[in-house]
Chain A
C-alpha cells in the first residue's frame, strides 16, 4: 500500500536527514533576522523585523497551537487523492467546496501523544535555563542602560521568543523522529513460499 509522501514547506521530509535540514534552515533564517536586526539603524526599521520574525515563527510553530507538523496540527486540508500527512477525519472545508479537512490532532494515537508530550517537556525544560539567567541578570543590565538600548534588547529578545517558544517542540519532533526500516510488505519484496504437497 502506498503511503502519502510527507512534505513540509513543499520540501519532502521522508528521511531524518531531510527533516533535520529543514530545522537547520528554519533556525538559520532566525539567525539572519537577528544579524539584520543588529545591523539595522533606527528603531522603526528594527521593529519592522519583529512581525516578520513572528510570521516566520508561525510557519513551523503556529501562532497558537498548531503548525504544519502533524502531531501539533489542528486542521489540515485533505488532498485530492484522499491522502494527507495524518489520519482522516471529516469536516467540510470552510471556503473550498467539495474539500474536507482532516483533524490529525484529534486522531493522534498513544505513541503520537507521548511523542508530543515529550517534545513539549524537553523544549520547555530546556528554555527555563535561559529564562532564569535572563531574570537574574536583567536588573544589572537595566541599571545603566539607555532607553534606546533597552528597547533594542527587548526587540531582540522578542525575536528569540518567537524563534524558540513557538517552534521548539515542533523542531524537536522533526529532529528526533528516527527513520523506520522499510517495510518489506510495502515494497512487495516479501518472499512467499508455496508448499507443494
Chain B
C-alpha cells in the first residue's frame, strides 16, 4: 500500500513502508522495535498520517537497506509490478 496524505505544511509524502514490511514478513511491532519507535507510529506512517523526521527516514532506510527515495516519495509510487516489469507484457500474455 502506497499511502500519502497532507502533512501540516500541505505537502504530500507517499511511502512504501507497508509493502516493504509485508514483503519481509514483519509485524508493526517488529519494525517499531528495530527502529526504536512506538508501534502506533509505524501505523501512522503507513497510513500517511505522519511525515517522519529525516532521522527516522534514515533509520527506516538503513533498516530496509534501501535508499530513502525508494521508501518515500512526493509523487505517488507506481505499482511495484509495473516498476519491475517496466509495463512490458510478459511473454505468452493475451494480446
Binding site for B on A (CB under 8 A): 1, 3, 87, 108-112, 114, 178, 180-181, 183-186, 190, 192
The answer to whether A114 and B50 have CB atoms under 8 Å apart is: yes
Q: Which residues of B contact A110 (CB under 8 A)?
A: 37, 41, 52-53, 55-56
A101 CB to nearest B CB, Å:
18
Q: Which residues of A contact B40 (CB under 8 A)?
A: 111, 180
Given A109-B56, A180-B44, 7 other A-B residues pairs in contact with their CB atoms under 8 A:
A109-B36, A110-B37, A112-B41, A178-B49, A185-B21, A185-B22, A185-B30
Q: A178 vs B41: C-alpha distance in the bound complex, in angstroms?
A: 12
Q: Which residue of A lies closest to B41 (CB)?
A: A111
* Residue of A3, A112, A180, A185 touching B26 (CB-CB under 8 A): A185
Binding site for A on B (CB under 8 A): 21-22, 25-30, 36-41, 43-45, 47, 49-50, 52-53, 55-56
Q: Which residues of A contact B27 (CB under 8 A)?
A: 1, 183, 185-186
Q: A101 vs B67: C-alpha distance in the bound complex, in angstroms?
A: 38
Task: Report whether over half of chain A's contact residues are helix, strand or loop; otherwise say mixed.
Answer: loop
The answer to whether A112 and B38 have CB atoms under 8 Å apart is: yes
The answer to whether A180 and B43 have CB atoms under 8 Å apart is: yes
Q: A183 vs B28: C-alpha distance in the bound complex, in angstroms?
A: 7
Q: Which residues of A contact B44 (CB under 8 A)?
A: 111, 180
Q: A58 vs B32: C-alpha distance in the bound complex, in angstroms?
A: 31
What are 6 of the A-B contact pairs (CB < 8 Å)? A110-B37, A112-B41, A180-B40, A180-B44, A181-B47, A185-B25
